[in-house]
Structure 1
Amino acid sequence: MKSFITAIGTANPAYGFPQLKIAEFMSDAVSMNEEERQRLFTLYRASGIRHRYSVLPDFGTAFKYSDFFKPGDKALMPSVSERMALYKQEALPLSIAAIENCLDQLGSFSKDKITHLITVSCTGMYAPGLDLDIVQSLGLSHSVNRTCVNFMGCYAAFSGMKVADAICKADKNAVVLMVCVELCTIHYQKSMNWDHILSNAIFGDGAAAVIVQAEKSSALALSPELFYCDLLPEGRKDMAWSIADFGFEMTLSSYVPSMIKSGIKELTNNLLSKLSYKVDEIDYFAVHPGGKKILEVIKDELEIKKEKCQQSFDVLADYGNMSSPSVLFVLKKIMQDLQNDLSSKRILSFAFGPGLTMESMVLEVVPSEFTKALEDDKEFINIEAV
């Protein structure tokens, strides 16, 4: 049996800012001197990011319109409880926007068909949680099966997809809705610590929703062929996510790209060998846009052409790193690019997170029944002409 990703929807908050505008906020917030400011702007220019989104207006307004992040010392920064209250307020509407964008792609699809709900997030939590709020807001059955994937970081969409895939393979009537939502910017750290400076430079807010079904619809779909995970324990301290007194704190060292470089080829070979595929047989690479250096390291180490992973660079440029939804933004762009494609293709996808965890999967692109019918008609006409 197989599972099929039949639609992916995405959403971002109302506030969007150019990357260099955010840099102005960051330098002013900690009163950087000119040398520090120039170093920060160099980092932001080299990030590969043009634009990011936040649920807060602060990052483009230098404290003029919001009092959530107040100027002054760290003691004035919002507590964890205040940040969680903001998460509870903002995560649901952003999730619903992504879900609606997803379901709109399925035409007359009825929400009553949804049998399972998976929620994924690492930037906030509360109970009763986001899963129950989504059930209430969408009017889903109270008996819908619910699973929550929490605090797993940037690779968590893979964890959710594994659950959805297993459900669909076990139940031919299963229709799974998975929602990834992250409000990374509510955990802004006012600090000169380099880990915090780097995290403040790349993360943004966003949500993505996916419908996974046991039966393929008539539209283009992605079918997972295999998942594979590996660990690089030596990177345990270089990518971490912890709860502190003033928000969740990300540790993201500059060594992460080199660690991924040391393990990505072996990870890829181990995955593809199980399917008897070679790297040059992969048509698209959906890489989690964790950062520009990470994308470039993978491209160079696997010797793939940039056009095969261009969607990852584009998502990084337009949204930054949104943690778990990011790779789904990439897959959505690939699906959009393939809408009129008549041939079956394969996608290799990667994501990375605390541990250092390296997740991967191979997806088969299943063309829509409509485009396949058009291709069959063309072949028939050509035969008749002969």
Structure 2
Amino acid sequence: MKSYISAIGTANPPYKLPQMRIADFMAEAVSMNAAEKKKLTALYRSTGIQYRYTVLADYTRRNGAFDFYSNTPDLEPFPTIDRRMQLYKQHAVPLCTEAIRNCLLAYPDFSPTQITHLITVSCTGMYAPGIDIELVETIGLATNIQRTAINFMGCYAAFNALKTADAICKSNPEAKVLVVCVELCTIHFQKYKTEDHLLSNAIFADGAAAVIMEASPRNEYSISIESLYCDLHFDGKNDMAWHIGNFGFEMTLSSYIPDLIKNGIRQLTERLLKHLKLTTHDIHLFAIHPGGKRILEVIEQQLGLCKEDNRYAYQTLKAYGNMSSPTILFVLKALWNDLQQSDAGKNILSFAFGPGLTLESMLLKVHYR
């Protein structure tokens, strides 16, 4: 028995900002001199990102017209955890709702009450009763729906949600599982000049994505989960981390991460494919989490890929930045939108990475009926 992704929906908040405009905001916010701003501008240009989305209107304004941040030269007093969580609670559910409705456009005759399981994913905010219960009420899901929350796992968390949905579908042929990922990364801006924080501020963005998974394909196209494999590289556990500080969630994001992934990605791929008796020559399509441009490049080097093979990751990175957990679903959505009947039977190799250092991999297959 297999599980199938039957539909994917995505959503972003209303404020779409050019990457270099964000660079200007950041340079002003941390009071950079001319030399520091020049280096920051080079960093932002090197990311491969053209636009990012945010729930915060402040990023579209200059100091003196802020609603969230303080209208002072140093932004003090800086927003507390409580203030940031209020913002998360205000925006997370509406963004989830938009992604779910976008997903359900593929089901004109489908009632949300038919959904049997709800899996919510987020690492940028939390409260209780949480977004799962609010979505039951907002979307009109059955009140006896089975709910699971996956929190604080970072960019690879969607893989854990898909694993959970896969297990549910395999154990219950009647299951219809809704997976929803939402991250508001931009509410956690930290005004330090350290390399980790400057890099985090340069790539992360806001977004949400939703998928429907079932034990049998419903639409003309569907994608089945064929195999999953996860590994840990403890050498990198201090290079990617996520901690709650007094003034927001603080990301540690080392420039060494691409090298760590480079050292493990080939072995990860071989182990995933081994028990299916496949090789990389049997892979036709790729859906890789764009944790950063350099990460995509080292994966290409190790697996012998070209940039065109990795086009869906680059498209997502360019248009949205890194939205943490929803990002891989944006990549899959971009791939999905290009599917044709001739793609039936093609294998898709997918990766995502996160704190640990965690390396997640997944093999999927395209189905057409």
Scaled by the length of structure 1, what TM-score is found?
0.94
Q: Which residue of 2 aligns with 1:68?
A: 68
Conserved in 2, the CA contact under 8 Å of 1:25 and 1:59?
yes
User: C-alpha distance in 2, partners of 1:309/1:193?
Assistant: 31
Q: CA deviation at 1:113?
A: 1.2
CA distance in 1, matches of 2:36, 2:216: 56
1:379 maps to: none
Q: Which residue of 2 aligns with 1:304?
A: 305
Structure 1 runs (4+) greater than 4 angstroms displaced: none
Match of 1:273 in 2: 274
- 1:192-203 to 2 correspondences below 5 Å: 192-203=193-204
The aligned residue for residue 188 of structure 1 is 189
Shift in alpha-carbon separation, 1:65–1:97, aligned structure 2, 3 A = farther
Deviation at 1:60, TM superposition (A): 2.6
Percentage of matched positions with identical amino acids: 55
State how far apart, in whole Å, the 2-side matches of 1:75 and 1:18 are: 26
Deviations along 1:285-307, whole A, 9 cap, x unmatched?
A: 11101000001110111101222
| Larger CA deviation: 191-200 vs 73-82 | 73-82
Q: Which residue number in structure 1 is paired with residue 329 of structure 2? A: 328
Question: Which is worse superposed, 223-232 or 299-308?
Answer: 299-308
Question: Following TM superposition, by how much is the alpha carbon of 1:139 offset from its aligned partner in structure 2, in angstroms?
Answer: 1.1
Q: Is the 8 A contact 2:29 2:75 kept in 1?
A: no
- The TM-score normalised by the length of structure 2 is 0.98
Task: Identify the residue that residue 48 of structure 1 maps to in structure 2.
Answer: 48
* Aligned partner letter, 2:348: I
Name 1:9's counterpart in structure 2: 9
- Note the aligned Cα RMSD (angstroms): 1.1
For 1:76, what is the secondary structure of its paired residue? coil
Q: How does 1:27-42 map to 2 (within 5 A)?
A: 27-42=27-42
1:348, 1:363 within 8 Å by CA — same for their partners in 2?
yes
SS of the residue corresponding to residue 128 of structure 2 reads: coil
Aligned to 2:103: 102
Could you tell me which residue of structure 1 aligns to residue 153 of structure 2?
A: 152
Superposition map of 1:254-273 within 5 A: 254-273=255-274
1:308 Cα deviation (Å)? 1.7
Say how many residue pairs are matched: 368
User: 2:228 matched to which residue of 1?
Assistant: 227
Larger mean Cα displacement after TM superposition, 288-297 or 70-79: 70-79
1:208 aligns with 2:201: no
Q: Distance in 2 between the 1:358 and 1:342 partners?
A: 27
- Quote the offset at 1:62 in angstroms: 2.0
1:262 to partner: Cα distance = 0.4
The SS at the match of 1:306 is coil
For residues 39 and 343 of structure 2, the distance between their equivalents in structure 1, rounded to whole angstroms, comes to 48
Counterpart of 1:318?
A: 319
1-structure distance, mates of 2:201, 2:277: 41
Distance 1:236 1:74, change over 3 A: farther
Residues 181-224 of structure 1: CA distance to partner in whole angstroms, max 9, x if unpaired? 00000000011121111100000000000000112113200100
Letter in 1 for 2:150: V
The alpha carbon displacement at 1:75 in A equals 4.2
Quick one: which amino acid aligns to residue 58 of structure 2?
A: D
Contact conserved, 1:10 with 1:98, CA < 8 A, in 2?
yes
Deviates more, 1:54-63 or 1:36-45: 54-63
Distance in 2 (alpha carbons) for counterparts of 1:64 and 1:56: 15
In 2, distance between residues paired with 1:342 and 1:256? 33
Alignment-derived partner of residue 127 in structure 1: 128
Offset at residue 64 of structure 1 (A): 5.1
- Tell me by how many angstroms 1:65 deviates: 4.2
Alignment partner, residue 380 of structure 1 = none
Aligned partner letter, 1:41: T
Distance 1:252 1:331, change over 3 A: same
Q: Which runs of 5+ in 1 are unaligned?
A: 370-386
SS of match in other structure, 1:120: strand
- Residue 118 of structure 2: aligned partner: 117
Q: Which region of structure 1 is more displaced relative to structure 2, 216-225 or 228-237?
A: 216-225
When Rg is computed on C-alpha atoms for both structures, the one with the higher figure is 1
Alignment match, 1:286: 287
Give distance in 2, aligned partners of 1:88 and 1:179. Answer: 15
8 Å CA contact 1:56, 1:66 repeated in 2: no
SS at match of 2:108: coil
CA shift at 1:342, angstroms? 5.1
Q: Aligned in 2, Cα 1:50/1:33: closer, same or farther, shift over 3 Å?
A: same
Q: In structure 1, how many angstroms separate the alpha carbons of the residues matched to 2:317 and 2:64?
A: 28
Q: Shift of residue 340 of structure 1?
A: 4.4
Structure 1 residue 152 displacement after superposition: 0.3
Question: For 1:227-260, what per-residue CA distance to the aligned partner results, in whole angstroms no more than 9, with x for missing partners?
Answer: 1000000000000000000000000000000000
